[in-house]
Structure 1
Amino acid sequence: MTAETTPPAELRQQVTAEQYDSWPEERCAGIEVVDGRVVGSPSASKRPRRLARILANALDAAAGPGWNADTDFDVRLQDVPLTNRRPHVVVYRAETIDVTPTRPEHVLLVAEVVPPGSETADRRVKVDQYAKAGIAFYWRIERAAAGVPLIHTYVLDPATGGYRTGDVFTGVVRVAAPFAVELDLGRL
């Protein structure tokens, strides 16, 4: 972390789920908690935020009444030590819209738009955490050298507890699982 993203001293202490749950949303925005330690979450620029919103809107429209898709809120992966991640896009059970915190059993899919400086976390650390939490689908969105977004898809393998690599998309995304959705990345 750079000096600009170093959290205040009180946030660098070990944080419990009870402490975190007592904080106002403004204090929690822009941070994640990993093994009880607050870590900065790089804020996305306009293009990645737009990509996350377009993806969430497409997933929300395709999901049907049982699922919602939204952007930028906590998913509580574990209570002790506290691990909260804030994926860019979350598809979760519609019936849990008022349940806080959102837990892995509420979540079908998480997607991360990889900003510069977060490649290792999004490619290795988060993918492992989401798999261990039992989240069925993980999508990682990166910009290719030509500037075109690439969506890497992963599906949880219940036998191994890890993700199997799925398809990689650029241009038009057409998937059948977790539900049929089509998204034109060229709109970005």
Structure 2
Amino acid sequence: MTSRVPGDWYRWIPDQITAEDYRALPEDFCRTIEVIDGHIVKCESPSRMHNRVGRRLAAALEQARKPEPCLLVETDIDVRISDVPLNLRRPDVTVFRCLPGDRRLYATDAVLVVEIVSPESSFRTDTVEKKAAYAAAGIPVYLIVFLNQAGDEVELIEEHRLSEERYELGCGHTRRLSFDDPISVDISFEALTSL
């Protein structure tokens, strides 16, 4: 925390923040938000199944990646869409080109992002707003994972591929997620959710 931020920092946050303001916020707070056109959006805590699916999908992608080209896989990290106005999202899983040190991750570094839809709360955000933002930012592949209404099984994974600055549905996976680019992966829905 910088000296600019007082102890009761949450009272200091302006209506619209800049990239400099964001850097001054406590790191643990930043892990719970996204920023859209400079406005802070608080992220809800995901369900245990949501976390399990994200963790297992990230592990499958991590295991399948090859050293060339150098790609990394992370969960729940900032992906900077733009600096002015400040726009950043925290995809559930991100595959991105290797970066030196701890350099900031921009959308132009990402080759694949995953969002897991929470039936009660994130349907529109994940299927409309983030889909448009990720496409405009030029991220080549966007996977949307749909849990069933009970939230205990993966029902569908949509694979969207960028074409002329828009996503086109490449495939609707119903029992397994299987594709070759940018990483070759093949995993059953059951493996993503089983105890």
In the superposition, the TM-score normalised over structure 1's length comes to 0.88
**Displacement after TM superposition at 1:54 (Å):** 0.5
Where in structure 2 are the equivalents of 1:1-188 lying within 5 Å? 10-11=12-13, 13-65=15-67, 66-96=70-100, 98-100=102-104, 102-115=105-118, 116-145=120-149, 147-149=152-154, 150-157=156-163, 160-187=164-191, 188=193
- Cα distance in 2 for partners of 1:69, 1:77 equals 18
**Displacement after TM superposition at 1:112 (Å):** 0.4
Letter in 1 for 2:157: I
Measured at CA, do residues 10 and 152 of structure 1 come closer, stay the same or move farther in structure 2, by a change above 3 Å? farther
- Cα distance in 2 for partners of 1:108, 1:38 equals 25
Contact 1:32 1:41 in 2 (8 A): yes
Contact 1:12 1:38 in 2 (8 A): no
**Displacement after TM superposition at 1:148 (Å):** 3.1
Structure 2: segments with no counterpart, 5+ residues: 1-9
Query: 3-state SS of the aligned residue for 1:51?
Result: helix
Highest CA radius of gyration, 1 or 2? Answer: 2
**Displacement after TM superposition at 1:19 (Å):** 1.0
**Displacement after TM superposition at 1:96 (Å):** 4.3
Contact 1:148 1:170 in 2 (8 A): no
**Displacement after TM superposition at 1:121 (Å):** 0.7
- Cα distance in 2 for partners of 1:34, 1:50 equals 27
- Cα distance in 2 for partners of 1:130, 1:155 equals 11
Residue deviations 1:37-86 (CA, integer Å, cap 9, x gap): 00111211111011001011111111212111110010000011100100
Aligned sequence identity (%) = 35
State the superposition RMSD in angstroms.
1.6
- Cα distance in 2 for partners of 1:59, 1:97 equals 21
Contact 1:128 1:162 in 2 (8 A): yes
- Cα distance in 2 for partners of 1:121, 1:40 equals 13
In the superposition, the TM-score normalised over structure 2's length comes to 0.85
Measured at CA, do residues 44 and 11 of structure 1 come closer, stay the same or move farther in structure 2, by a change above 3 Å? farther
Of Structure 1 and Structure 2, the greater helix share is in 1
Structure 1: segments with no counterpart, 5+ residues: 1-7
- Cα distance in 1 for partners of 2:186, 2:51 equals 19
